[in-house]
Amino acid sequence: MRSLKWYFLLLPAYFFIFTFYIAPILGVFTLSFTKWAIISEPKFIGTKNYMRLVKDEVFLISLRNTLLFTAILLPSLLTTSFLVALLLYKLTKGIEAFASVYYLPMVVAIVITATIWRVLYSPFGYLNQLLRMFNLPRMIFLSEELVIPSISLALIWRDTGYFSLFIYSALLSIPKSILDAAELDCLNSYQKYRYVILPMMKPVLFFLSLYITIGCFMIFAIVYVMTGGGPGYASMTLLNYMYETGWRYFQMGYAAAQSAVFLCLIILMYYIQRKLIGGGGVYGYYE
């Protein structure tokens, strides 16, 4: 009876999880097997949407672009965040002011960030004026070849301060006795970070790598504002393509199939990162 009582107390939580998490996922997978233009009734078409995905060149380009964003942003954000956190860890004065300056870009709305960087990247923007001062040729930052690195740079500027706070907190949580023991064992700085600090930070690094990866797959607003997915489809991401498919062309069944593949890719990335990085360490696992 006691266990049954606990189940009744947890019913609101189960209802919330089912309503806002499980039911939408089941709905998306169900719609992915239909042809639905919103104004008409969904029509079951089997696996035709998934067969279409394999042949859809724009979908494959958007998938490639999303993976490219991930390949650029994941190591870059982890590295820059770790360096900023390390600088904060070494500082003895002015930590709050320094952290505030680096965290400030995260407070700015993503649409404003995209607008600022779009102006900076314009042919007559500040960056090209700076290049001109040094007699360097003008660059088209949002060209087909440079658009993904250029957008990635804007995101690195925006998110480095935010993620550095996680790493900084993890550095502060390492017991000083362990670091003192490492020094007594005559470990140099590289050995101390390689064999003591980084293994103890595996749970945080695993969490951040997963967080950044999901963020890369969720890139939408900055691309929508800066380039609209262009030039051509050079910066089109999965989320941008899903939006266009569903709300511009009203092919909701096909957009649902893209969403289903999108979800499977995120789950796959989770297991790959768990295998490569691991969540282990002194503090256990982030499960």
pLDDT digits (tens, 9 = 90+) for 106-121: 888 899 999 999 999 9
In a domain, 8, yes or no: no
Residue 284's pLDDT is: 36
Residue 17's pLDDT is: 85
Residue 4's pLDDT is: 64
User: For the chain, which ranges sit under pLDDT 50?
Assistant: 280-287
Residue 270's pLDDT is: 87
Residue 281's pLDDT is: 41
User: Is 262:242 a contact under the CB 8 Å cutoff?
Assistant: yes
Residue 100's pLDDT is: 75
Residue 264's pLDDT is: 93
Residue 175's pLDDT is: 81
User: Is 237:73 a contact under the CB 8 Å cutoff?
Assistant: no
In a domain, 151, yes or no: yes
Residues of the domain holding 164:
52-276
> Domain tally for the chain?
1
pLDDT digits (tens, 9 = 90+) for 34-62: 999 888 889 999 999 999 999 999 999 99
In a domain, 20, yes or no: no
In a domain, 238, yes or no: yes
In a domain, 284, yes or no: no
User: Is 53:261 a contact under the CB 8 Å cutoff?
Assistant: yes
Residue 5's pLDDT is: 66
Residue 1's pLDDT is: 52
The torsion of the CA quartet 116, 121, 126, 128, rounded to 10 degrees, works out to 180
Residue 194's pLDDT is: 78
Residue 198's pLDDT is: 82
> The domain spanning residue 133 has which CATH number?
1.10.3720.10
User: Is 257:53 a contact under the CB 8 Å cutoff?
Assistant: yes
Residue 286's pLDDT is: 31
Residue 285's pLDDT is: 33
The torsion of the CA quartet 200, 204, 209, 211, rounded to 10 degrees, works out to 170
In a domain, 34, yes or no: no
